[in-house]
Amino acid sequence: MENVTVIDHPLIQHKLSLMRRRETPTNEFRVLLREISHLLGYEVTRDLELETRTIETPLTETRSAFLSGKKLALISILRAGNGLLEGMLDLVPSARVGHIGLYRDPDTLVAVEYYFKVPEGLPERPVIMLDPMLATANSAIAAVERIKEVGARNIKMVCLLAAPEGIRAFNTAHPDVPIFTASIDERLDHHGYIVPGLGDAGDRLYGTQ
């Protein structure tokens, strides 16, 4: 599939299998998602800009690499995006954070916006969008449209699970935005849920089932 990278490190696959299991409780689900977000984040931030600066070690002066340029923006698609956000912030604590509140209308599966607050300067920042589930992709497509409206250009989409239908729709709407995912699952069911999937990510993360 075009414009999609599957990050299928063995640790990710193992932790994802634990997350998928019906009996995995909320507290374990949340910890596993945070751990997986570290592993996804490692790959997704691979091309961040660096600059060298002079430092002193206890032994000598040397040139050493530091992150440079405008700070990364992490944009969480509420609610479930927050499950990936915490782990990404562990890796890049200086990142700026935005939130886009969207819920899927259960009948039409259309994404309905209820909140939008993002950092300034998005045109100059690398932007990473976070949502564990790319199902129909209606939510991710709408969120990226809103981010582009405020000028973001260098955007990546990070999810945990993606459905082939969602990847196709997202690629059509935003061919310039690469997707990074831990798994491409089989399909969507009649209610727009990813199969085999893991159920409702927000509910499993926050125990609201």
Question: Nearest Cα to 32, choosing from 180, 168, 182, 150?
Answer: 182
Q: What does 74 interact with, of ligand URA, ligand PRP, none (CB < 5 to 8 A by kind)?
A: none
Determine, following the binding rule CB under 6 A, whether residue 166 of this chain makes contact with ligand PRP.
yes
Determine, following the binding rule CB under 6 A, whether residue 41 of this chain makes contact with ligand PRP.
no
CB 110 within 8 A of CB 139: no
Interatomic CA distance for residues 108 and 105, integer angstroms: 6
Whether 46 sits among the annotated catalytic residues: the reply is no
For the beta carbon of residue 47, count every other beta carbon within 10 angstroms: 9
Residues in contact with ligand URA by CB under 6 A are 133, 135, 192-194, 197, 200-202
Q: Which residue's CB is nearer to ligand PRP, number 122 or number 133?
A: 133
Q: How far is the CB of 140 from ligand URA (least distance, A)?
A: 11
Whether 200 sits among the annotated catalytic residues: the reply is yes
Whether 8 sits among the annotated catalytic residues: the reply is no
Using CA atoms, how far residue 196 sits from 8, 27, 94, 169, in Å, is 17, 21, 36, 20
Which phi and psi (to 5°) does residue 192 adopt? Answer: 80, 20
Question: Nearest Cα to 159, choosing from 71, 80, 50?
Answer: 80
Q: Which range touches ligand PRP (CB under 6 A), out of 15-23, 43-51, 73-81, 114-122?
A: 73-81
Query: Can you tell me which of 77, 85, 129, 161 binds ligand PRP, judged by CB under 6 A?
Result: 77
For the beta carbon of residue 69, count every other beta carbon within 10 angstroms: 12
Residue carrying structure tokens 């091309």: 47
Q: Which range touches ligand PRP (CB under 6 A), out of 56-64, 85-93, 136-144, 149-157?
A: 136-144
For the beta carbon of residue 41, count every other beta carbon within 10 angstroms: 23
Q: Which range touches ligand PRP (CB under 6 A), out of 55-63, 64-72, 98-106, 119-127?
A: 98-106
Which is catalytic among the residues 104, 136, 181, 204? 104
Q: How far is the CB of 39 from ligand PRP (least distance, A)?
A: 19
Q: What residues are annotated to the active site?
A: 104, 108, 200, 203
Q: Which residues bind ligand PRP (CB under 6 A)?
A: 77-80, 102-104, 109, 111, 131-140, 166, 192, 200-202
